[in-house]
């Protein structure tokens, strides 16, 4: 984890918590060294780090797109490579947390779904390359899940929507209004793009556990 509070929560439930930002090669190397030093090997690796973001494509600066890909695509690549010797030794398993956005896209979701499409290709290629060595690779495609991804990206989302150039600015203003004035969930209505029921993270965890042990 990156945040001290999250590291403390992991330690409180008996986990060995490592400070790790997958965008920082030095931290990736240090975490891999700690796992090796523990002397217990490594059976499973779950790529759970991920960031999101919304905004029409003309509103996305290069730096924002690069930052998103650094976490969602390059992070799994560099962490897998750092831990690969241990996974090969154990004939272990790798699970990527993808998204339904790895197969579909829609306006305002371009860079995020681009990164998840890329993660699909990464996982598929990694599976083929590692299968002869006995290492299995899976990717899980959740839909909407109750996490902090929206709150974590709120400042950047609002900035992009506010800076959207014409003739796209009218649609961006409408999206910004919806972001700042969310409609309450209408339990009696069918689920739709505008009435989404977010899954509990435990449902994703159960699927990841199946992928690690099946």
The pLDDT, as a whole number, for residue 104 is 94
Return the minimum-mean-pLDDT range out of 22-26, 87-91, 110-114, 163-167. 163-167
The pLDDT, as a whole number, for residue 191 is 73
Residue 135 scores a pLDDT above 90: yes
The pLDDT, as a whole number, for residue 134 is 97
Catalytic residues: 112
Q: How many CA atoms lie within 13 A of 138 on its CB side?
A: 17
The pLDDT, as a whole number, for residue 145 is 87
The percentage of residues in the chain with a pLDDT greater than 70, rounded to a whole number, is: 98
The pLDDT, as a whole number, for residue 176 is 86
Cα distances from 187 to residues 142, 143, 191, in angstroms, run 21, 18, 8
The pLDDT, as a whole number, for residue 58 is 94
22, two tokens: 């997958």
Residue 189 scores a pLDDT above 80: no
pLDDT digits (tens, 9 = 90+) for 44-68: 999 999 999 999 999 999 999 999 9
Residue 182 scores a pLDDT above 90: no
* CA geometry: angle 168, 173, 176, nearest 5 deg: 125
Are the beta carbons of 172 and 164 closer than 8 angstroms?
A: yes
pLDDT digits (tens, 9 = 90+) for 62-105: 999 999 999 999 999 999 999 999 999 999 999 999 999 999 99
Residue with tokens 């523990």: 38
pLDDT digits (tens, 9 = 90+) for 100-126: 999 999 999 999 999 999 999 999 999
């Amino acid at each position: 984890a990156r945040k001290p509070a999250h590291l403390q929560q992991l330690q409180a439930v008996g986990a060995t918590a490592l400070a790790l930002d997958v965008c920082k090669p030095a931290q990736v190397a240090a975490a891999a060294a700690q796992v090796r030093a523990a002397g217990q090997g490594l059976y499973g690796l779950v790529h759970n780090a991920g960031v999101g973001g919304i905004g029409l494509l003309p509103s996305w600066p290069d730096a924002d797109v690069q930052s998103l890909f650094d976490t969602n695509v390059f992070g799994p690549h560099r962490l897998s490579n750092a831990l690969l010797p241990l996974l090969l030794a154990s004939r272990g398993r790798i699970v990527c947390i993808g998204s339904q956005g790895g197969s579909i896209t829609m306006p305002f979701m371009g860079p995020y779904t681009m990164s998840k499409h890329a993660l699909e290709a990464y996982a598929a290629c990694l599976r083929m390359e590692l299968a002869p060595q006995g290492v299995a690779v899976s990717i899980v495609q959740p839909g909407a899940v109750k996490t902090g991804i929206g709150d974590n990206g709120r400042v950047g989302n609002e900035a992009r929507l506010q800076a959207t150039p014409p003739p796209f600015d009218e649609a961006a203003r409408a999206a910004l209004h919806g972001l700042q004035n969310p409609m309450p969930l209408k339990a009696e209505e069918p689920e739709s793009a505008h009435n989404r029921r977010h899954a509990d993270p435990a449902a994703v965890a159960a699927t990841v556990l199946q992928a690690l042990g099946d």
